[in-house]
Structure 1
Amino acid sequence: MPQTPDRSPAPPPQAAWPAAILFDFDGTLIDSAPDILTGINRLLDEENLPALDLGQVHQFIGDGAPTLVTRAFAATGRPLAPDSVPAMTDRYMAIYEALPADPSCVFPGVAETLAHLCAHIPLALVTNKPERATHAVLQAIGLNSYFKAVVGGDTLPTRKPHPGPLLHAMAQLGAEPARTVMVGDGANDVTAGRAAGARVVCVTYGYPRMPVEELGADRLVDHFHELPAALLDLSVG
């Protein structure tokens, strides 16, 4: 009996893919806001301050833990003195890192798409979340094996929107900026990507503090599984 011919589409040529992809974490790969809210509110409760709501915390995420803590205390009407921010941030991180990471925080389509992409392209995570907490969450939710490099908000003296973390990740992956794509959800990702010389794709479901259409990304994706098609459409390989 003759065999049925294989009608599955051929994989795209290697040259069609970017040389490397850098990913933001919070709001791009995971919905971390509920855990961040829990951690911040426990800290505020220890200080006899009122709790925040999820909408407020969405607006505070993305610029690193010290800025998150500073904004949270300001929102309660009791702003922190600058010299007290480091110690209060340490207290917040101790609370946050003690929370069990829930694998359900991973946005739909992320694990499957990362598994597909890492078969073709080296991937890195570039986040403003502290590096130790980032590694812990990645391990707990089962995404750690997809990334060849992780750059946290305290890995270098600079963090996004500075291009330094992106350039550091590119160097670790051996990729040129012009052949690299940054995938994120906010202005920091677009600004850092542009300054680093990379192309930028933004997801539309994250935590931007302005309309995502106004961020200036090269492509927008409404669902993470749309990312491979957007990457091939960019033709930066």
Structure 2
Amino acid sequence: MSLMPAAVLFDFDGTLIDSAPDILTGINRLLDEENLPNLDLAQVHQFIGDGAPMLVTRTFAAVGRPLDPDSVPAMTDRYMAIYEALPADPSCVFPGVAETLASLSADIPLALVTNKPERATHAVLEAIGLAPYFKAVVGGDSLPTRKPHPGPLLHAMAHLAAAPGKTIMVGDGANDVTAGRAAGCQVVCVTYGYPRMPVEQLGADRLVDHFRDLPSALADLTAG
């Protein structure tokens, strides 16, 4: 892998793992506690990607009981307690992810930059066996800002001692592209994730249909 970026940053939900079923289970258990109707998987797909507080806010608006802003933190804490108690299933890892991360991490420093809360992120990474591949993990509550702000990406790159111009962000949605661009990185998007718009319209430098195709896309961008 002589022709590769200095570092690679990854989104989590929708990029490395199919977390939507567990998120749906957790959010519906919270709604059950509130005697409210449940969401379906398609709705949850549209609510993922902007952090747990926004997920909870969108959920309650969708079921017809919008939350007062002051009540969002406590309701988010309740949701996270439910979600973190769910056993992580290693089968949630998308095909080709574990093998590709293992190969890349042997030569390139990798970081995870997600809007999922940091504690939950570490717990899931450990449970599904992906934790050893990442030299840094930045969660949605690790810093004052989260994606699409470039701050989390810049923080991860500083930890890896990698220059933005030699770093590539890999994600599945607009937040990843916007944050990557603002941080000075090139961006690769997977086509199987949870974007809220056609993935072809996100403006990524490359699209990959299968995670195992990522190394060739990284090499192509580095050579470019």
Query: TM-score, normalised to structure 2's length?
Result: 0.99
Q: Aligned ranges for residues 1-237 of structure 1 at < 5 Å?
A: 12-13=1-2, 16-235=3-222
Q: Could you tell me how far 1:235 is from its partner in structure 2?
A: 1.5
Residue type of the alignment partner of 1:75: A
- Taking the aligned partners of 1:68 and 1:76, their CA distance within structure 2 comes to 12
- Amino acid in the other structure paired with 2:111: A
Q: Secondary structure at the match of 1:235?
A: helix
Cα shift readout 1:140-177 (whole Å, capped 9, x = no counterpart): 00000000000000000000000000000000000000
Shift, 1:236, TM fit:
5.9
Q: Is the 8 A contact 1:128 1:153 kept in 2?
A: yes
User: Partners in 2 of 1:235 and 1:40 — Cα distance?
Assistant: 40
Question: How far apart in 2 are the matches of 1:53 and 1:73?
Answer: 13
SS in 1 for 2:187: strand
Which residue matches 1:6?
none
Q: What is the percent sequence identity of the aligned residues? A: 85
Q: What's the counterpart of residue 9 of structure 1?
A: none
Q: C-alpha root-mean-square deviation of aligned residues, in Å?
A: 0.8
C-alpha distance after superposition, 1:84-106 (max 9, x if no partner): 00000000000000000000000
2-structure distance, mates of 1:105, 1:49: 27
SS of match in other structure, 1:183: strand
Q: Give the whole-Å Cα distance in 1 for the aligned partners of 2:10 and 2:162.
A: 14
Q: What residue ranges of structure 2 are gaps of 5+ in the alignment?
A: none
Larger-gyration structure (1/2): 1
Count of matched residue positions in the alignment of Structure 1 and Structure 2: 224
Runs of 4+ in structure 1 displaced over 2 angstroms? none
Counterpart Cα distance in 1 of 2:167 and 2:219: 12
Q: CA deviation at 1:62?
A: 0.1
Contact kept? 1:18, 1:236, Cα under 8 Å: no
